[in-house]
Amino acid sequence: MDLNTIAFQLILGIASAMLYWIVSSGLTFTFGVTRVLNFAHGAFYMLGAYFTLSFFALTQNYLLALFLGAIIVALIGAGCERGLISLIYGLPVPFQLILTFGLVLLFDDLVRIFWGSVPKMMPAQFIGSINVFGRLLPVFSLYLILAGIAIALVLYFLLSKTDWGVEIRAITVDPETAMCSGLNPAFLYATAFMFGSFLAGLGGGLYLPISSASPGMGEHIIIYAFIVTVIGGLGSIKGAFVSALIIGIIESLGALFVPWMTIALPYIALSAVLLLRPEGIFGEE
């Protein structure tokens, strides 16, 4: 095993980590603000992929389709929050989980109804590869890494430099005080949900150049998003970034060194964190 192979594999790992990051950041962000864990986050990811597909068919412009798709998903997310989830903020946790789980089933079948059950591919995009460490790296992997970093910067900017971000952080840290000081929780929760859904939709659209869209595609990603957010610390955006990287890298290096147990590696990492640092790397007790 030469160093070039390892370095190359590392880049691939970072690329897939960025997809995990984009989806998980939305999940952990929404949770941090609303304290509701959205099982349907994976379904929003799936919707993002399908809407991007459809908008691409209309516009023949991937970037535009990606953006429009994520916007539609964001609106659907906000609709779900206002119409359904906001009704159950005070209920015991299991009911919140089950409600959003019901949405998963609903959206899976809606996708089957509107787009059919057969997996759908987008016409190939970003064909071509570049020579890295003596190997051919698909150019899209690089775009994915750039997208992940860009989203990290945007999130940082939004949360620390805008009024909305400051209010969101205030209501996250101390909802009661925030409400007393005149913030509008309904608006903040809805926009937080909208933004989280936007990120899920974006993730789905970004997956299209890699593989096809299919009903139930959200299932794999939501489990990864769960693992990432638990490892990083539920509600911690920084944690999601770091743990997505950890998962992406151990997966890609694992494929190199211990291919027979690749599938178990994320779970082993999860178990280790649960035993050694139950609240997650950046989590608070």
Residues that bind another protein (CB under 8 A): 31, 37, 84, 87-88, 91-95, 97-99, 101-110, 112-113, 219, 223, 226-227, 229-230, 234, 263-264, 267, 270-271, 274-275, 278
Residue nearer to another protein on the CB measure, 107 or 195:
107
CB of 97 to another protein, least distance (A): 5
CB of 133 to another protein, least distance (A): 29
Residue nearer to another protein on the CB measure, 92 or 128:
92
Structure tokens at 153: 């910067």
Dihedral of alpha carbons 36, 39, 41, 44, sign: negative
At a CB cut-off of 8 Å and minimum separation 6, what does 275 contact? none
**C-alpha–C-alpha distance, residues 228 and 206, integer Å:** 18
Contacts by 163-170, CB closer than 8 A, 24 or more apart? 164/188, 164/191, 168/33, 168/192
User: Each residue of 39-72: b (16+ CB within 10 Å) or e?
Assistant: bbbbbbbbbbbbbbbbbbeeeeebeebbbbbbbb
Q: What DSSP letter does each residue of 224-239 carry, written as one string?
A: HHHHHHHHH-TT-HHH
**C-alpha–C-alpha distance, residues 46 and 119, integer Å:** 12
CB of 235 to another protein, least distance (A): 10
Residue nearer to another protein on the CB measure, 63 or 106:
106
Q: State the first-to-last Cα distance of the chain, in angstroms, to the nearest integer.
A: 42
Residue nearer to another protein on the CB measure, 63 or 263:
263
CB of 63 to another protein, least distance (A): 32
CB of 278 to another protein, least distance (A): 6
CB of 102 to another protein, least distance (A): 3
Residue nearer to another protein on the CB measure, 7 or 186:
186
Residue nearer to another protein on the CB measure, 37 or 245:
37
The radius of gyration computed from the CA coordinates of the chain, to the nearest angstrom, equals 19
CB of 118 to another protein, least distance (A): 13
Residue nearer to another protein on the CB measure, 37 or 68:
37
